[in-house]
Amino acid sequence: MFTPVILAGGNGSRLWPLSRQSMPKQFLELDGQGKGTMFQRTLARLNGLDHSTPIIVSNENHRFVVAEQLRAMGSSSSRIILEPLARNTAPAIALAALEAIAGGGDPVLLVLPADHHIPDEAILHDAIRLAEMHAEAGRLVTFGVTPTHPETGFGYIQCGDAWKEGGSAIAAFKEKPSPEVAAQYVAEGNYLWNSGMFMFRASVFLSELEKYRPRMVAACQIAYQHGVADSYFLHVQAEHFALCEDDSVDYAVMEYTDAGVVVQLDAGWNDLGSWAAIWDVGPHDGERNRIEGDVIVMNTRNSLVQSNHRLVSLVGLDDVIVIETKDAVLIANRHATQQVKEIVKQLQAQKRVEFDSHPLVSRPWGYYDTVDHGDRYQVKRILVEPGECLSLQLHYHRAEHWIVVSGTALVVCGDKELILSENQSTYIPLGVKHSLSNPGKVPLELIEVQSGSYLGEDDIVRFEDRYGRLTK
């Protein structure tokens, strides 16, 4: 039996405008098959293997998204470790390994990024079983993917001598190559794509990491030991975790260890790291287009067109990516989609809201959708799930009007408590403590009209909150 470790802390900037800081690609459904988000499918494809409760490593800002997606698939018992800031894969795996041995055991860990596309699960399972055999023997296993073409967006693993029991020694790790070098790797036949998937015993990984990155291990140990656990999460201490080097497991361990082995994987793997990769996995029509949503195309080929809110029409175009969202549209050449991250850097530098979030924002109690906004007003549609409750809070810079569209609202405003039903409304003055909850059995929907000098989400002072979000 092994313990899955799901790495769900990335940001997926190359898949903007769909993937954003508050809802990155691993929490989206990207392959058009309607079988759940990438995170959920990563967990689901382990069905049929003998494994213990997964350990999830994610970002503090995504904790409620993780919890809700686990709940939706009936896996809410998973252990969730929250990184206070991003420090790449080596520290993340170290935290998971510390969690895995905390109870006195020493399991084999299967480390999986949460955003990969692997359609042939039977072949994946066979590769995992082979890798588990090597991991139980004290080896550190990486999974190398059989190349299908000279890809410049992936790193490569050069294979050494093959082992009798399957797998190969690792001769070298190679950076993302030029087109010419990638073609050479594929022609030589002993190079595999680096999948970023690993398998090893927890203690073996920590021991090897301590050889090459002792300060990282020490920082992770202190940050883990001083973390704060609640009913849902382990909040890793930020001060010491920030001392970790920002390093991948490849650079920190796998390039140096003498215990490394690569197991070949030929299961249709794709890391879905760009819009071109999303186009690659299909499905395609007769003109090699992948179409999603309300789209009409004429004389258009080899393109990905995705509409989420309105009709999108293309005429006479080849090799383009068009992604429409409520507040942003991306149009790119299909062969230049790695450059989307540069657009995201500009958005971040300009502090634009499109860098961080969509108009529809998930919350642990439901979601809100920004309908309209101006200099001194903002209109939101709010949905509160049955039995859920917003925090007791106040705002220093805005007042709010609430109009119930459907369901039942229990409102606390100052020292008053009232029940509102469909077509009823109330007013929340600036600076008054208030809360909203849904005591009913159906979702509560309401329209919120905010007015004031500042309408940012950080104008919230929380006094009581069942989700642990109290203002410090």
What pLDDT, on the 0 to 100 scale, is given for residue 93? 97
From the first residue on, what is the mean pLDDT of each consecutive set of 10 residues in the chain (472 residues)?
94 91 90 81 94 94 88 80 93 96 93 94 95 95 93 89 80 91 92 95 97 96 93 90 92 93 93 91 93 96 95 97 96 94 95 90 89 93 96 95 97 96 96 96 97 91 82 50
Every domain range in the chain assigned CATH 3.90.550.10 = 2-265
Query: Measured on CA atoms in the order 331, 334, 335, 341, is the torsion positive or negative?
Result: positive
What pLDDT, on the 0 to 100 scale, is given for residue 472? 47
Two tokens, residue 120: 């042939």
DSSP state of 116: -
What pLDDT, on the 0 to 100 scale, is given for residue 117? 92
What pLDDT, on the 0 to 100 scale, is given for residue 466? 84
Two tokens, residue 284: 């395609």
Query: Measured on CA atoms in the order 126, 10, 283, 293, is the torsion positive or negative?
Result: positive
**Cβ proximity of 319 and 335 under 8 Å:** yes
> pTM for this one?
0.88
End-to-end alpha carbon distance in the chain: 42
Angle, nearest 10°, between helix axes 89-101 and 202-212?
Answer: 130
Q: Which long-range contacts (CB under 8 A, 24 or more apart) does 217-224 make?
A: 217/94, 219/91, 219/243, 219/244, 220/91, 220/94, 220/95, 220/98, 220/244, 221/98, 223/95, 224/95, 224/98, 224/99
Residue 247 phi/psi, 5-degree rounding, is: -145, 140
Could you count the other beta carbons within 10 Å of the beta carbon of residue 300?
Answer: 23
CATH 3.90.550.10 fits 2-265, yes or no: yes
In terms of DSSP H, where are the helices of 84-178? Answer: 89-101, 121-136
Contacts of 218 (CB under 8 A, 6+ apart): none
Q: Which residue has the tokens 């997926």?
A: 12
Closest to 174 measured CA to CA, from 197, 146, 155, 200: 155
Mean pLDDT for the chain? 92
Closest to 155 measured CA to CA, from 289, 20, 254, 22: 254
Every domain range in the chain assigned CATH 2.60.120.10 = 359-464
Query: Which architecture characterizes domain 359-464 according to CATH?
Result: Sandwich (2.60)
Give dist(CA 192, CA 186) in Å, integer. Answer: 8
What pLDDT, on the 0 to 100 scale, is given for residue 135? 96
- DSSP-based three-state secondary structure for 380: strand
Contacts of 215 (CB under 8 A, 6+ apart): 243, 244, 245
